[in-house]
Structure 1
Amino acid sequence: MLGFAILLGFNFLGYVIQLSLHLPLPGNVIGLILFTAALFTKLVKLTWVEEAASLLTRHMMLFFIPFTVGVLAFIPIIGANWLAICGGTVGATVAVLVVTGWVSSKIGQESAKHGE
């Protein structure tokens, strides 16, 4: 129970910070950043949250059910725009692959020049 309390506490803290400072970042993301910082600084021990995190990770698919059901409500809109959706998805994927390959190539060339 301690692990769940810690995880929910950081989630709540993230929402409070987001609402009070009017940040354009979601509260759960802020909480996750704070939680990660707390793990790195050893304010929170991994053993305290490991069991709760493992349970949540094992059952992660349950958290996607509401999202999937929500998407089903938009099937007519998705059907009408399937070409644009697929084109955007494929185009973005290709762009990421090309840029990643180009950057990796440049870094490899620089490493070879410097004899690393």
Structure 2
Amino acid sequence: MKRFFPLIILLLLVFSVYYFKEKLIISGDDSQQYIEQFFNNEEIYDTAHKKYGVYSMGVDQNDKLLLVSMNVSNKEYTEDVEKYFKQQLNIHRLNDYNIEVYLYEN
């Protein structure tokens, strides 16, 4: 009986790692899909451009960072832009992404 106990634990461990590995890989693929859906939704950019003067946006998937740029003349909207994009990221299941707003001058 003592010999079967470690064998059973080992089998459970191997099965668990295999099972969760598949879940993690699927989750990673979903993140890419969610990013694509986010950027394919032109309404997100159009709204940000009209309301806050956002000029461009991009993403760094490795650092999970959404990069947004806007003119320095719209600096007072920086917090509003961060809130708007955080809300949009949450809607698109990208809750773990942070937002960085860059101000540029013409």
TM-score, length of structure 1 as denominator length: 0.28
Greater RCO (CA < 8 Å, at least 6 residues apart): 2
TM-score, length of structure 2 as denominator length: 0.30
Of Structure 1 and Structure 2, which has the larger fraction of its residues in strand? Answer: 2
Of Structure 1 and Structure 2, which has the larger fraction of its residues in helix? Answer: 1
